[in-house]
Amino acid sequence: MPPKRAVSTSTTEKVIGKKVKRGISNESNNAKESRNANNASSLASPSPSTVTDTTSQKEKLSFIGNCVMWFRTDLRLKDNRALSLASKHATKQNKNLFALYIISPQEWKAHDVAPIRVDFWLRNLVSLQDKLEELNIPLIVRTVNLRRNVPSTVIEYCKAVNVSHLFANIEYEINESRRDKKVCSLAEHSDIVVSLEHDQCIIPPGLVLTKQQKPYTVYTPFKKSWLAIVGSGPKYLELSPNPAPNNELIREQYASGFNTKIPEFVEGFQILTAQSKRASTEFPAGEDAAHQRLQTFISGRIENYKEARNIPSIDGTSSLSAYFAAGVISARQCVVAARAANKNKLQCGNIGITTWIEEIAWRDFYRHVLVAFPYVCMNRPYKLETENIEWNNDPARLRRWCEGKTGYPIVDAGMRQLNETGWMHNRVRMITAMFLTKDLLVNWQDGERYFMQHLIDGDFASNNGGWQWCASTGTDAQPWFRIFNPTLQSQKFDPNGDYIRKWVPELSSLGPNEIHDPSGSLSPKRFAKLKYTTPIVDHKTAREKTLEIYKAVTKGGGASSGGTKTYKLN
Ligand SMILES: Cc1cc2nc3c(=O)[nH]c(=O)nc-3n(C[C@H](O)[C@H](O)[C@H](O)COP(=O)(O)OP(=O)(O)OC[C@H]3O[C@@H](n4cnc5c(N)ncnc54)[C@H](O)[C@@H]3O)c2cc1C
């Protein structure tokens, strides 16, 4: 049993999420930035802060105990803001650091977490646990069936191991921030200091603003500003120190903490053995694997990234998204490595490298949008007037798209790649998403959900942002008229048909002139022999209808301008 803890009645300044007195020397220089970051993130998250003024806290806290690092989507040891601070704090106080992870199946179901993503998390937890154990830091894993019990479970665990300081990195989505607010409130009553850190983005949400101090709603000006801020000084790319080891006496004091077995699967999220094996090969777990992937990419393929990234048949991108999404590698680590390969420049130099860095800015952009416009987390489009679109609800359309049986080879190839591997190439994500929304006129939210339920790299901000961009309900600078022609996209980005041939075996005998549009380019007899489906819609007709609908909704007065008209998509 841990020793009985002292409970102070005065907790006013101790719980972060309220105001915490901060004692770092450059605090005043950063005050404006912190305020901005806090303002923006308070929409979605408790105010972040750091526990740094340990002396003054020591005086105020009736009890200085151990520290806990609560891992969420940040499953790494290196360059982990909250973990690094937790370790620093524990070392300074001569206390132990514990690590906690919560398996929360109800929350995961509600958020459409893909089983293959859960499998990836579990595999990474095993690797993280090994690394933590080398530092005598026990990783405790708790399963909490009801999501509403997560905050109390976290606090109960803190009490059980005599903790006075709880650290975590901020998750910006609405439900996660509500959960964290609850944790803060319970912590306050339990005399526990909570420290929530900005870690996911290179620049915390709220700090890339227009001249009018407003959030950007278009990527290109955001990117320019982002590059200027990141390049203006070292702090955003400064990597956090690795955690220090606990005293090995902890192995005797808390022996049971070192016996935690990471489950092989979570009920309701099982995947087939073959799929798991494939995922383990294509996305091996662990920080070392992620860094090896990064280095291989940076020392070779990144040079040609600008052109190669659009060709789905080749390995032209980093394939790091699953690691980003689970936090196995940080965006900072990636930008630092890319910049080093570009003679320490963020801009200019090798175009492949700078283009790749700009893709990481996209990732930041969608998180900034989510924090500035939190209603996008609540099933609402960024452009509210597009809520007036009455989508086509025919379930057969959605089903054929999900199964990769639309009769548009590039779309079918993409959907089958997703179904088989849990990953899809970015160009094909755009083509399939645009096809569902603009050719089939199916609600983008159905596609967003299906992607989330199947992607190993599922990430709310990037997925929601990507879907809304494709559906023209989001932050695209271009208005409603961006509609891809799937056949032209296919000819342009998969000219030989190699990608299609890989994923749609019915078409493997076709050459480059036939494969993009088999029903249009083959005789009916030859087409019938393929046993491939005829196109679900005619693109030209669907395009015209979609243009009409979007035009009417955009001009006809939608939710944001008080109108109530709806437009049918039959
Ligand atoms: C409809 C749609 C849904 C998407 N859903 C997701 C998702 O759930 N999770 C996800 O990580 N990405 C998503 N993306 C973005 C993008 O497709 C993937 O990040 C990319 O394909 C991952 O491959 P990579 O790691 O090889 O990327 P690279 O080309 O090597 O890029 C490096 C990293 O930059 C980031 N990035 C690249 N492109 C984008 C982008 N357009 N938006 C945001 N971040 C980007 C990713 O973290 C990526 O790993 C989606 C895009 C679309 C159009």
- CB of 385 closer than 8 Å to CB of 559: yes
Q: How far is residue 376's CA from residue 370's CA, in Å, rounded to a whole number?
A: 6
| Closest Cα to atom 26 of ligand 1 | 319
Q: Please, what is the end-to-end C-alpha distance for the chain in angstroms?
A: 67
User: In the numeric block, which tokens belong to residue 142?
Assistant: 């708790």
For residue 560, is it within any domain?
yes
| Closest Cα to atom 6 of ligand 1 | 463
The pTM (predicted TM-score) of the whole model is 0.90
317 lines ligand 1 (CB under 6 A): yes
Residues tagged in the binding site annotation for FAD: 305, 317-321, 356, 359-366, 457-459
Select from 481, 463, 485, 459 the least CA-distant residue to 472.
481
Which residue in this structure is represented by tokens 């530092």? 135
Select from 214, 243, 188 the least CA-distant residue to 15.
188
Q: Choose one of 335, 359, 418 to mutate for the ligand 1 pocket test, by most ligand atoms within 8 angstroms of C-beta.
A: 359
For residue 485, is it within any domain?
yes
Q: At residue 207, what is the residue type?
A: L
Q: How far is residue 435's CA from residue 415's CA, in Å, rounded to a whole number?
A: 11
Cα of 462 from ligand 1 centre, angstroms: 7
Specify the number of domains making up the chain. Answer: 1
Q: Choose one of 294, 315, 321 to mutate for the ligand 1 pocket test, by most ligand atoms within 8 angstroms of C-beta.
A: 321
Cα of 521 from ligand 1 centre, angstroms: 33
- CB of 546 closer than 8 Å to CB of 441: yes
506 lines ligand 1 (CB under 6 A): no
429 lines ligand 1 (CB under 6 A): yes
Cα of 331 from ligand 1 centre, angstroms: 13
What's the burial of 306, exposed, middle or buried (CB within 10 Å: 0-12/13-18/19+)? middle
For residue 260, is it within any domain?
no
For residue 525, is it within any domain?
yes
| pLDDT value of residue 348 | 92
| Domain boundaries, position 417 | 384-568
Residues tagged in the binding site annotation: 305, 317-321, 356, 359-366, 457-459
For residue 543, is it within any domain?
yes
Q: Which atom of ligand 1 is nearest to the CA of 433?
A: 1
Q: Which helix (H) or strand (E) holds 142?
A: strand 139-143
318 lines ligand 1 (CB under 6 A): yes
The CATH number of the domain holding residue 399 is 1.10.579.10
> In whole angstroms, how far apart are CA 424 and each of 25, 117, 224, 239?
46, 14, 28, 30
For residue 51, is it within any domain?
no
Q: Choose one of 457, 464, 482, 484 to mutate for the ligand 1 pocket test, by most ligand atoms within 8 angstroms of C-beta.
A: 457
Select from 292, 282, 100, 85 the least CA-distant residue to 183.
100
pLDDT tens by residue, the chain, 570 residues: 333 332 222 222 232 333 222 222 232 333 333 333 343 344 334 343 333 333 344 445 556 899 999 999 999 999 999 999 999 999 999 999 999 999 999 999 999 999 999 999 999 999 999 999 999 999 999 999 999 999 999 999 999 999 999 999 999 999 999 999 999 999 999 999 999 999 999 999 999 999 999 999 999 999 999 999 999 989 999 999 999 999 999 999 999 899 899 999 999 999 999 999 999 999 999 999 999 999 999 999 999 999 999 999 999 999 999 999 999 999 999 999 999 999 999 999 999 999 999 999 999 999 999 999 999 999 999 999 899 998 998 999 999 999 999 999 999 999 999 999 999 999 999 999 999 999 999 999 999 999 999 999 999 999 999 999 999 999 877 755 789 999 999 999 999 999 999 999 999 999 999 999 999 999 999 999 999 999 999 999 999 999 999 888 876 433 333 333 344 443
Cα of 512 from ligand 1 centre, angstroms: 28
Cα of 403 from ligand 1 centre, angstroms: 22
Catalytic residues: 359, 362, 391, 426, 444, 467
| pLDDT value of residue 61 | 55
463 lines ligand 1 (CB under 6 A): yes
Q: How far is residue 414's CA from residue 451's CA, in Å, rounded to a whole number?
A: 11
Task: Provide long-range contacts, Cβ within 8 A and 24+ apart, for 500-506.
Answer: 500/409, 500/410, 500/412, 500/413, 502/313, 502/413, 503/404, 503/412, 503/413, 503/414, 503/416, 503/417, 503/420, 504/404, 504/409, 504/412, 504/413, 504/416, 504/532, 506/530, 506/531, 506/532
Cα of 457 from ligand 1 centre, angstroms: 8
For residue 341, is it within any domain?
no
What's the burial of 566, exposed, middle or buried (CB within 10 Å: 0-12/13-18/19+)? middle
Per DSSP, what are the bridge partners of residue 16? 18
For residue 333, is it within any domain?
no
